[in-house]
Amino acid sequence: MLIELSVAWVTALNVVAWLVIQFGLAWGFTQLAAERFDYRGILARPKVWERGGRFYETALGIKRWKGRLPDASRLFRGGFAKANLQAATPEYLERFLRETWRSEIVHWLALLTLPLFAIWNPWWGVLVNAAVAVAVNFPCILALRYNRARFQRLLAAQTHHEICGKNRNNRSARTATGF
């Protein structure tokens, strides 16, 4: 602890700092173009152990609690609501997948700011802030990864169906014309 403050001031500073960090990152990232967030990158893409989202369903019971998580994206102009799937078109799913990665980055970056709290918090205050940060951000990260895994599966199935349908139609057309 570099700065000595009363418990009341430390508490107030912690609350204000977390609000500024969380909303500041969220606002800042909504200002960036969605195309900058490649959900197919090594960090973003679903891992084998996630099993297309099934891990979150079986191990964490995510379907029971993910609907209770807040979605602050509507607070900012340009924000993209992720609480409900609004469409199932490939274009919409692409955007949704990019937005889940954008939001996941925001939550990870918020967690990475935790060392700043050591400036004005005693060691036990840093631990309390760590617990709060994990409790606030980690469920959101899990829900975002779960949704991304599920919707990537859906997009892949649509793309596969579209490609197979075109190949089948092309084969039928070639047969009908004698080529």
One pLDDT digit (tens) per residue for the chain, 179 residues: 778 888 999 999 999 999 999 999 999 999 999 999 999 999 999 999 999 999 999 999 999 999 999 888 888 887 888 877 788 899 999 999 999 999 999 999 999 999 999 999 999 999 999 999 999 999 999 999 999 999 998 998 887 766 676 655 544 434 443 43
Report the alpha-carbon distance of residue 21 to residue 29 in Å, rounded: 12
Q: Contact at 8 Å (CB) between 5 and 13? A: yes
Cβ atoms 133, 114 nearer than 8 A: yes
Best CA proximity match to 144, nearest among 75, 64, 83, 55: 83
In this prediction the pTM is 0.85
Residue 71, exposed/middle/buried by CB under 10 A (0-12, 13-18, 19+)? Answer: middle
